[in-house]
Every structure is written in C-alpha cells, then in structure tokens.
Amino acid sequence: MLSIDDHRGQSPRGSEFKGSYKFEFDRSFTKVGSKSAEREELENFISEMLKSPNKAIGFGPTFTSS
C-alpha cells in the first residue's frame, strides 16, 4: 500500500479515495469500522458461551455411569 507521501503530497491522477480497508488473514478486505462475517460469528459464539458457562461442549464420546 502506498501513502500520500509516496506521491509527493498529491494523489495520483485519476484516483479517488474509496475508504480505509484492512487485509484479513483469508486474503479478503474488510472496511475499517465494520466486522467480517467470521468475526461476528465468533463474537456471537463467545457471547452464548458466556451466558451459559456450565453448558458443556461435546467433542467426543460422553461417559455415563450405569
């Protein structure tokens, strides 16, 4: 990415500012100030886990006593 300093204080001819974006790990761009779909999904998951901390997450066989 280039800054305005790279062009001696003026934007290149024929260009216009479209906004600020961040480059995500999956090589996509997200507008600064907004959240990617993956980020929103992660935040929702964490919120649900914090609401019910005793809720178990099953990742394998469950063992019960008989």
Q: What secondary structure, in 3-state letters, does the chain show?
A: CCCHHHHCCCCCCCCCCCCCEEECCCCCEEECCCCCHHHHHHHHHHHHHHHCCCCCCCCCCCCCCC
Domain limits, the chain: 19-48
Q: Which of 45, 47, 17, 12 is nearest to 32 (CA)?
A: 17
pLDDT tens digit sequence for 26-54: 888 888 887 778 888 888 888 888 887 66
Highest mean pLDDT among 10-14, 21-25, 62-66: 21-25
Contact between 37 and 30 (Cβ < 8 Å): no
What's the pTM?
0.40
pLDDT class of 65 with cuts at 50, 70, 90: low
pLDDT bracket for residue 14 (50, 70, 90): confident
For residue 4, the model assigns a pLDDT of: 64
